Amino acid sequence: MHRRKTKRIMVGNVPVGGDSPITVQSMTNTITKDVPSTVNQIKELEREGCHIIRAAITDLDDAKAIREIKKHINIPFIADIQFDYKLAIAAAENGADCLRINPGNIGSLQKVKEVVKCCKERSIPIRIGVNSGSIKKEYLEKYNGVNAHSIVYSALEQVRLLEDMDFTEIKISLKASDVSLTIEAYEKMSQMVDYPLHLGVTEAGPKLRGIVKSAIGIGTLLSKGIGDTIRVSLTGDPIEEVRVGREILRSLGLLEEGVDIISCPTCGRTKIKLIKLVEEAEDKLKDIKRPLKVAIMGCPVNGPGEAREADIGIAGGDGVGIIFKKGKVIKKVKEEFLIEELMKEIDNL
């Protein structure tokens, strides 16, 4: 897969764009100024493999809380600001690693200049985000409503505003809740600028629907080499957003960390409690950060062969199972000890 070349920016200590790995983001849903809750949630998200976190900054207390929050977390913190330029400045002064703000919403040019000056002094990038619901009226009129043109040109106006102030530490998001529109808008934008793109399908919806929409929208773009950082938006626990985001990257071979579990769908040949084994293995393997492919297959006939690309795997028989490495059987184990033995073998790899 050929990845589109973009400018590399730094969000705290995490590079975004250029050749850097594609990162997974999420957003907290705690009250930001409730520091213990916000820190707890961010730490949980970190453990799940979230690379960058964003939080809503709704007032000065939220902005001030960033300083304390940052003492306890290890991933970069993006301050999400709606309209108030003073909050943007306060967030930057209190240690935000990036601002998510639309210059067009801030008001006068002078206010935008002040925010930009503050970001420049601290080398903080700005993420411009246009949602299909926040397109300026003039673009809706000019391009006949909500479509890729109105989204892209609305965002470009914001980009140019920053460029005119000699500010280019920019990343862009163009979200719509319609998957095809999201894809079209990002494709169009990727041909027009080389700033890193933050991918997401907005208001994707409740869990299953949100997962499918995000996987198709984000996955399609990534498979075309478009996108430098992603966020899956789900109505639910942000932990799920991170899990899904990571799986999207993993399924496209874009995540070089953690365990990839390959498991069969089971069929009439399965004589082992495969679903339980997979759940058990998933739980035990989740803290392994190095890249590893583990197969858990239902039968020894097709198992090792179908999962030849796995580094290690198990294939169930009747009351027993085999452990295999790179398609070669290494031992036979009773069903109840299969996972334990698998973990031992993984430790020795």
Say which amino acid occupies 124.
Answer: I
Output 95 or 303, the one with its CB closest to ligand SF4. Answer: 303
Q: Verify binding: residue 278, ligand SF4, rule CB under 6 A.
A: no
Binding span for ligand SF4 by CB under 6 A among 19-27, 87-95, 106-114, 291-299: 291-299
Question: Measured over all CA atoms, what is the biggest interatomic distance in the chain, rounded to whole angstroms?
Answer: 74
Output 52 or 299, the one with its CB closest to ligand SF4. Answer: 299
What is the secondary structure of 97-128 as a DSSP string? SEEE--HHHH-SHHHHHHHHHHHHHHT--EEE
Q: Which of residues 230-269 bind ligand SF4 (CB under 6 A)?
A: 264-267, 269
Query: Binding ligand SF4 by CB under 6 A: which of 22, 45, 101, 297?
Result: 297
CA separation (Å) from 94 to 37, 109, 238? Answer: 19, 23, 24
83 Cβ contact list (under 8 Å, min separation 6): 105, 106, 107
Residue number closest to ligand SF4, CB atom: 298
Output 161 or 277, the one with its CB closest to ligand SF4. Answer: 277
The distance of closest approach from Cβ of residue 303 to ligand SF4 in the complex, given in angstroms and rounded to an integer, is: 5
The distance of closest approach from Cβ of residue 269 to ligand SF4 in the complex, given in angstroms and rounded to an integer, is: 4
Question: Which contiguous run of DSSP H or E holds residue 261?
Answer: strand 259-263
Output 208 or 267, the one with its CB closest to ligand SF4. Answer: 267
Q: Give the three-state DSSP class for 279.
A: helix
Residues that bind ligand SF4 (rule: CB under 6 A) add up to a total of: 12
Pairing of strands 23-27, 259-263: unpaired
Pairing of strands 320-325, 312-316: antiparallel
The distance of closest approach from Cβ of residue 277 to ligand SF4 in the complex, given in angstroms and rounded to an integer, is: 12
Binding span for ligand SF4 by CB under 6 A among 98-106, 184-192, 247-255, 292-300: 292-300
Cα 47 to Cα 239: distance, rounded to the nearest angstrom? 9
Output 204 or 315, the one with its CB closest to ligand SF4. Answer: 315
Binding span for ligand SF4 by CB under 6 A among 103-111, 144-152, 241-249, 302-310: 302-310
Q: Verify binding: residue 58, ligand SF4, rule CB under 6 A.
A: no
Output 101 or 294, the one with its CB closest to ligand SF4. Answer: 294
Enter the DSSP assignment of 272: S
Q: Verify binding: residue 313, ligand SF4, rule CB under 6 A.
A: no
Q: Which of residues 83-142 bind ligand SF4 (CB under 6 A)?
A: none
Q: Is residue 291 within 8 Å of 254, Cβ to Cβ? A: no
Cα 124 to Cα 27: distance, rounded to the nearest angstrom? 18
Length of the chain: 349
Q: Verify binding: residue 303, ligand SF4, rule CB under 6 A.
A: yes
Q: Which residues pair with 98 in a beta bridge?
A: 78
Q: Give the three-state DSSP class for 217.
A: helix
Q: Verify binding: residue 302, ligand SF4, rule CB under 6 A.
A: yes
Binding site for ligand SF4 (CB under 6 A): 264-267, 269-270, 297-299, 302-303, 306
